[in-house]
Amino acid sequence: MTNIYGIILHGGAGRYRLFTKEFVEKRKRELRRAALYAFEELKTGSALDAVEAAIKYMEDSGLFNAGKGSSLTITKEIEMDAGIMDGKTLKCGAVACVKNIKNPIKLARLVLEKTDHIFLAGPGAEKVAEILGMKIEPIKITPEKIRKFERVFKLWLEGKWGTHLFRLKTLYKDFIEGTVGAVAIDKDRNIAAATSTGGYSLKLPGRVGDTPLVGCGFYADNSAGGASATGVGEYLTLIFACKTACDFMRQGVSAMKAAEATIDILTRRFGPHTGGIITVDPMGRIGFAYNTEGMGKSIMTSYMGEPAVAVFPEEDHIILKSIKK
């Protein structure tokens, strides 16, 4: 098992069958490119560098609900959350409700590297970003985003935009949903995890989901494993999704079984269509599970010639046959 290194990425769990075929294919291409981009980093760099690179790629893509592609709050603003963790040191950095940062994951990494805090939020986080030399620039709210917002806002006014679960089950067709996440293990057996999101469409201003909460949206510990979650943030937070998966792996459970056991808990407590998770264990094994229609994911490891990508359960065999269980 020595010298196995690799990365798994997700581009969100949800109602993928409501998306057009073209959109799903586009997202798969981006997931593939993101895996290749991050894997280049992993060949010479650390797991931490690789997960940051993967998330940055997807934040810049515009095809996911993170960074450039972030959805709008009910007050028609963008508020982004991100978190990153180094399994070697347990150092972690997270930001929430940032509006004017192109790559929230870069700010989260700066919090990890340059401060003795874990989590910064709102205008304070942006002030620190500026002090640390990051450019402050608002994410552009495109006419397309406004059009989609108006459509769903109307439904909300009519009382047809209910709970989070209802949102996931019904109206996501017209939205670019898809939190992004990555978990990697490098040549030195160090594990890292990172997650980034624009949160929910029509979320209340100031709402923070699982994504930037350590143990909920992301977690990494070399002696247990790493995980990144996607789905209904409130539910994932209540079961500490990523810490739960890592605790399974700490007991020797494989990455795949740990992911499945965690999503099992999520489904039992909160029902189907609530989320997904990706995992890596200290042996370099990779896992994933979801209870939604699909979860965009791509994998690239040192024993694979090219990335494997899949969204729907009927495609998952493509990934399963390319990874060592």
Please identify every residue annotated as catalytic: 179
291 binds ligand GLY (CB under 6 A): no
210 binds ligand GLY (CB under 6 A): yes
In the bound state with ligand GLY, the residue whose beta carbon lies nearer, of 45 and 122, is: 122
How many residues form the binding site for ligand GLY (CB under 6 A)?
10
d(CA 57, CA 69): 12
Shortest Å, Cβ 299 to ligand GLY: 21
d(CA 230, CA 183): 13
d(CA 186, CA 183): 10
Q: Which amino acid is at 231?
A: G
Query: Which listed range, 23-31, 137-145, 186-194, 207-215, lies at the site for ligand GLY (CB under 6 A)?
Result: 207-215
- In the stretch 147-186, what mask flags binding to ligand GLY with x, by CB under 6 A? --------------------------------x-------
197 binds ligand GLY (CB under 6 A): yes
Q: Which of 83, 181, 199, 282 binds ligand GLY (CB under 6 A)?
A: 199
Instruction: Convert 117-179 into a string of H (helix), E (strand) and C (coil).
Output: CCEEEHHHHHHHHHHCCCCCCCCCCCHHHHHHHHHHHHHHHCCCCCCHHHHHHCHHHHCCCCC
230 binds ligand GLY (CB under 6 A): yes
231 binds ligand GLY (CB under 6 A): yes
Going from the C-alpha of 28 to that of each of 22, 75, 78, 80, 304, the distances in angstroms are 10, 31, 25, 23, 18
Q: Which of 6, 209, 276, 287 binds ligand GLY (CB under 6 A)?
A: 209
Q: Which of 211, 222, 228, 292 binds ligand GLY (CB under 6 A)?
A: 211
Tokens standing for residue 131: 């002090």
Shortest Å, Cβ 234 to ligand GLY: 7
Q: Which of 67, 233, 287, 307 binds ligand GLY (CB under 6 A)?
A: 233
CB atoms within 10 A of CB 74: 17
In the bound state with ligand GLY, the residue whose beta carbon lies nearer, of 185 and 227, is: 227
**At 9, which helix (H) or strand (E)?**
strand 6-14
79 binds ligand GLY (CB under 6 A): no
In the bound state with ligand GLY, the residue whose beta carbon lies nearer, of 253 and 263, is: 263
212 binds ligand GLY (CB under 6 A): no
CB atoms within 10 A of CB 171: 20
Shortest Å, Cβ 13 to ligand GLY: 9
d(CA 91, CA 153): 39
User: Could you please report the per-residue DSSP string of 44-74?
Assistant: HS-HHHHHHHHHHHHHHHSSSSSGGGPPP-T
Handedness of CA 260, 266, 267, 273 (dihedral sign): negative
d(CA 31, CA 198): 18
Shortest Å, Cβ 1 to ligand GLY: 32
93 binds ligand GLY (CB under 6 A): no
Question: Rounded to the nearest 5°, which phi and psi values hold at 183?
Answer: -135, 135
307 binds ligand GLY (CB under 6 A): no
What residue ranges bind ligand GLY (CB under 6 A)?
Answer: 179, 197, 199-200, 209-211, 230-231, 233
